[in-house]
Amino acid sequence: MHRFVLHNFVSRVLAIASLAVAIAAPSATAQKSYDSGATDTEIKIGNIAPYTGWASQYAAVARAEAAYFQMINDRGGIKGRKITFISVDNASDPAKSSALARQLVEQDQVLLIFSSIGTEDNLAIRAYLNDHKIPQLFVESSSAVFNDPAHFPWTMGFFATYHNEGIAYAQYILQNKPAAKVGVLYANHDAGKEFLAGAREGFGDKASQLIVKEVSYQASEQSLQPQIAALKDSGADVFLNFSLGPFTTQAIRTAYDLDWHPLQFIPNASLSVAAFLEPAGLQKSAGVISNARSKSWMSPRAQSDPAVHEFLDWISKYNPSASLRDQNNVAGYERAQALVAVLKNCGDNLTRANVMKQAASLDLELGMLRPGIKIKISPTDYQPIKQLFLIRFDGKAWVPVGSSIAE
């Protein structure tokens, strides 16, 4: 089992200078409230990530979060409390996540579970965490099912949903290619079906007319060639490629190799150039459309932005082995920033209930988010980010498609 623990041991020197200090100390201590995982010197945070298995590229998110917390620790922690980040490997298998969540809560005694990766993986642990009133914050999945505070008040999403992505792509097609013949590839699980439902909703009463073929795949499949061939044979000239991660890589490459060159859309979860487009082939990926929430950071012009400069300094010092072309690093950086903001707002009341209270009232702008996109949460709305903007891959980098932000 992969197990990564980030911890800085702090030596403390206790001295009583006078009777007044001795009398005042109990009063100050009494004002502090802690649940398991929090003390005067430490905050324990749990995480489940796929360090091995088919989704291992997404472990870059957890590595980035660990690197961000290391920076916070080097700067003195949060009110003097250092973050211990305990990240464990589920080998890309949701069936292993339940036992790992129990281990983190019952053995490691973490204060909360943060940014665990994958829709099915987070669904596997949601009931347990809510039953035990453990925060499940900023899950690394864009599924709309994690915005349900009425039924799961201890679970919170982060980015704009797969459903909204599907709607945004459908609206773009209606505006720019209204006579399209659309082929859809989706994973046969909750996230894939959510993409498909969003696209159908976005097309509205034209869905049955525009969508000429829908095919799905299982995560256990070795080849997507049968599905891609079926979509090509349907006559589709638009490809809603709702596959994820390495399956997106395979779908892009297979379509190109079969000499099928439709207008193609891929999920935000698959836009990493280093992790997914380079393995597919940059030429084969040219023209693909996706969506983003974060600023560009590769061009000299972008690097003049102070927030981008700060991000680049961080990755150079704390995550130097990470690829600058891997968007997963930005995703981890932003989530870690948001969690640190929540923990700072908790002050000395580091109970699980207060963590959720502070998270549910977060109103925050992050430097790496595109202008107009912000984190805003309320007790009845657990979807922190709702906006996105469309981007196109030009064979070298992602460039904006228009200037408007879609919701």
Q: Is the pTM of this model over 0.75?
A: yes
| pLDDT of 19 over the 60 cut | no
Q: How confident is the model at residue 27 (pLDDT cuts 50, 70, 90)?
A: very low
Summarize pLDDT for 157-197 with one digit per residue, the tens: 999 999 999 999 999 999 999 999 999 999 999 999 999 99
Summarize pLDDT for 52-78 with one digit per residue, the tens: 999 999 999 999 999 999 999 999 999
Summarize pLDDT for 291-329 with one digit per residue, the tens: 999 998 988 888 899 999 999 999 999 999 999 999 999
The closest alpha carbon to 355, from 43, 30, 2, 27, belongs to 43
Q: Of 94 and 302, which is predicted with more confidence?
A: 94
Same fold, 3-160+327-376 and 162-292: yes
Q: How confident is the model at residue 30 (pLDDT cuts 50, 70, 90)?
A: low
Domain 3-160+327-376: give its CATH architecture.
Answer: 3-Layer(aba) Sandwich (3.40)
Summarize pLDDT for 330-374 with one digit per residue, the tens: 999 999 999 999 999 999 999 999 999 999 999 999 999 999 899
Tell me the two tokens of residue 56. 């291992």
| pLDDT of 226 over the 50 cut | yes
| pLDDT of 1 over the 80 cut | no
In terms of CATH, what superfamily is 162-292? Response regulator (3.40.50.2300)
3-state secondary structure of 78: strand
Q: What does the domain layout of the chain look like in residue ranges?
A: 3-160+327-376, 162-292
pLDDT at 17: 35
Q: Of 9 and 184, which is predicted with more confidence?
A: 184
Contacts of 405 (CB under 8 A, 6+ apart): 370, 372, 373, 387, 388, 389
pLDDT at 299: 84
pLDDT at 157: 96
The closest alpha carbon to 196, from 181, 180, 215, 179, belongs to 215
Cβ-contact 334, 61 below 8 angstroms: no
What is d(CA 55, CA 61) in angstroms, rounded to the nearest whole number?
12
Q: Of 18 and 406, which is predicted with more confidence?
A: 406
pLDDT at 11: 35
Which helix (H) or strand (E) element contains residue 3? strand 3-6
